[in-house]
Amino acid sequence: MNSTLRRMTTTMAVALVLGAGAAGAAPLSDPGAVAAVPDAQVLLQFYPTALSTTPSGMVEDQAVWLAKVQGLMVGAPPLLQQSLLMSRSKSEFAANVALLQQMQESALTQRQLQMQRQLQQGTLKK
């Protein structure tokens, strides 16, 4: 598996894990509550900054790029979401994106380790 495909697969897995976590974190008092992600349209000023999931040497469609940026924001705490939205330069934007990507990679790694432990203990539920 080449590194681009591996990165894309990891990113999709992270999105699934974080999406499931966000859905599970919704308050029980309001079953229709969904985690809100701030509008990221303001970040289009940084398009076409390459993301870690951007294939090498390619420029993604603007809508795809924006969806990926919003996907990074989904699992982030509000403070980090606002930090990304308030980016004033490409370097600030890149630093904020790198932080969110590291956070998602760390969450995925922790979840993988947790699942491995559960599998070894025989407590992994389907």
Could you list the residue range(s) of the whole structural domain that residue 38 is in?
A: 3-121
Domain contains 42: yes
The confidence score (pLDDT) of residue 17 equals 45
Long-range contacts of 80-89 (CB under 8 A, 24+ apart): 81/37, 81/38, 82/38, 84/40, 84/43, 85/38, 85/40, 85/42, 85/43, 87/43, 87/46
Domain count, the chain: 1
What mean pLDDT value characterizes the chain? 79
Domain contains 126: no
The confidence score (pLDDT) of residue 126 equals 64
pTM confidence score: 0.63
Q: Which of 43, 51, 44 is nearest to 10 (CA)?
A: 51
Domain contains 63: yes
The confidence score (pLDDT) of residue 2 equals 56
Domain contains 17: yes
CB atoms within 10 A of CB 11: 20
Q: Is 100 a residue whose pLDDT tops 70? A: yes
Domain contains 23: yes
pLDDT in tens, 8-57: 555 554 454 445 444 444 444 454 555 577 888 999 999 989 898 888 88
The confidence score (pLDDT) of residue 92 equals 96
Q: Which residue has the higher pLDDT, 105 or 14?
A: 105
Domain contains 83: yes
